[in-house]
């Protein structure tokens, strides 16, 4: 049963787990068939409570208030911290705040301006290094802008060593109940975390690296990481940080992703042919039909691929639009950085799809090393030439990966 629930995760620290299995598209664009979790937290000292974040308004506010009542009683919540203002965490802050009697609200300067613009909610401003006090307990403010909004802060609960990390260290997937990293299939969980990274966070990967560096230099006695999505980390923190670092640096494996489009199945044959050629020369091949694959899975596979082969028919003189929209996401997120690309275009009568695609891939950070154009589906001698071109691409890719090892 996916219902809001709570769990104690430290002395006077409560995790409010708010699962969402109704939203089909995260940010109204990323398919999340397994849903997503919104985590908020309560930190208490005797009768004084701080609420950290709320959730998207997928639940009636009465249901969330009932949850808060079970844990603390509404009148004991004296403070609310908004770690960043994106509505999946701040959507209910205004209503909750009114209903519990206008507690003190805290956020960064930018979040304060966004909360005012979006919800007409006023928040007091805290800065990097400030302390939020709950009774005798202290939470250190760590400003880490651009993860993945410009207004983000983390909070560090000094006496328990818990870092409340907003959208960093998160994952997709609704939770039936709040669980720690040592109570779930962690390898499976990391697939959701990687997908969440590739879609929501990847564009700001340098900021995440900077955040990891800053957290490391603060020398925190880090016992737990409590993110705004996904599970709470306590036993696998080093593994998570290692994986996150490899995603942030777009660390490439001997892996090729083939992304193709096809209107009548002819260009698809070329993708299948390319797959047969490639699979014997690398460790892994991922193949995605741009029309049917989840865009989440496409981006996730590109993150750790050393090379990507794009195969498209020409549509009214242009790149096949379903493939074009994937390339646009790669361009926005610059996920091609440090990776090789090969472009294969089929056409019957003309168009500039090859040039358009190469140019966009360059903007996405790829080095476009091989470009082939064919009149419809190639056969015979053309296919032998195509195989040779793919071999050239793979030799360059393998030599590039060897230098990285």
In the complex with ligand FEO, the residue whose CB is nearer, 31 or 321, is 31
Interface with ligand FEO includes 20 (CB under 6 A)? no
Selected from 149, 164, 374, 386, the binder of ligand FEO by CB under 6 A is: 149
Rg of the chain over all Cα atoms, to the nearest angstrom: 24
Told to check if 228 binds ligand FEO by CB under 6 A, we report yes
Minimum gap (Å) between residue 82 Cβ and ligand FEO: 11
CA distance 201 to 229: 13
Among the listed residues 20, 86, 195, 304, the single contact to ligand FEO using CB under 6 A: 86
For residue 165, state whether it binds ligand FEO (rule: CB under 6 A). no
Beta bridge partners of 156: 140, 163
Pick the binder of ligand FEO from 167, 181, 195, 301 (CB under 6 A): 167
- Taking CB under 6 A as the binding criterion, the range among 85-93, 216-224, 241-249, 335-343 that sits at the site for ligand FEO is 85-93
The distance of closest approach from Cβ of residue 367 to ligand FEO in the complex, given in angstroms and rounded to an integer, is 32
Instruction: Tell me if 97 contacts ligand FEO by CB under 6 A.
Output: no
The token duo for 123 is 């928040």
| Shortest Cβ 321–ligand FEO spacing (Å) | 28
Q: Which is nearer to ligand FEO, 151 or 181 (CB)?
A: 151
Q: For the chain, what is the largest distance between any 2 Cα atoms, rounded to a whole number of angstroms?
A: 80
Q: Which residue is nearest to ligand FEO (CB)?
A: 86
CB-nearer residue toward ligand FEO: 166 or 257:
166
| Residue ranges that bind ligand FEO, judged by CB under 6 A | 84, 86, 88-89, 148-149, 167, 228-229
């Amino acid at each position: 049963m996916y219902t809001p629930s709570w769990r104690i995760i430290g002395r006077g620290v409560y995790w409010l787990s708010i699962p969402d299995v109704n939203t089909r598209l995260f940010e109204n664009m990323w398919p999340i068939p397994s849903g997503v979790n919104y985590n908020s937290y309560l930190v208490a000292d005797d009768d004084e409570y701080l609420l950290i974040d709320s959730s998207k308004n997928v639940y009636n506010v009465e249901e969330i208030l009932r949850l808060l009542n079970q844990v603390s009683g509404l009148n004991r919540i004296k403070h609310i911290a908004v770690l960043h203002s994106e509505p999946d965490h701040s959507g209910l802050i205004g209503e909750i705040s009114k209903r519990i009697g206008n507690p003190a609200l805290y956020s960064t300067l930018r979040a304060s301006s966004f909360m005012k613009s979006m919800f007409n909610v006023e928040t007091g401003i805290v800065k990097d290094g400030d302390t939020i006090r709950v009774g005798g307990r202290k939470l250190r403010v760590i400003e880490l802008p651009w993860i993945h909004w410009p207004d983000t802060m983390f909070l560090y609960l000094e006496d328990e060593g818990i870092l409340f990390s907003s959208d960093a260290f998160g994952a997709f997937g609704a939770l039936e109940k709040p669980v720690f990293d040592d109570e779930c299939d962690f390898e499976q969980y990391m697939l959701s975390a990687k997908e969440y990274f590739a879609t929501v966070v990847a564009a700001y990967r340098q900021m995440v690296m900077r955040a990891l560096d800053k957290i490391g230099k603060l020398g925190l006695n880090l016992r737990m990481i409590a993110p705004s999505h996904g599970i709470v980390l306590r036993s696998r923190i080093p593994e998570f940080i290692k994986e996150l670092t490899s995603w942030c640096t777009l660390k490439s494996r001997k892996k090729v992703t083939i992304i193709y489009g096809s209107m009548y199945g002819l260009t698809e044959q070329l993708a299948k042919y390319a797959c047969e050629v490639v699979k014997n020369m690398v460790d892994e091949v991922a193949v995605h039909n741009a029309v049917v694959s989840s865009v989440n899975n496409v981006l996730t596979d590109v993150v750790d691929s050393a090379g990507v082969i794009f195969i498209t028919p020409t549509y009214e003189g242009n790149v096949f639009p379903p493939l074009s929209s994937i390339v646009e996401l790669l361009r926005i997120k610059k996920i091609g950085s440090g990776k090789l690309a090969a472009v294969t275009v089929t056409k019957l009568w003309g168009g500039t799809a090859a040039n358009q695609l190469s140019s966009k891939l360059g903007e996405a950070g790829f080095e476009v090393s091989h470009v082939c154009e064919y009149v419809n589906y190639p056969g015979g001698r053309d296919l032998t030439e195509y195989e040779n071109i793919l071999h050239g691409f793979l030799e360059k890719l393998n030599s590039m990966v060897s230098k990285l090892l």
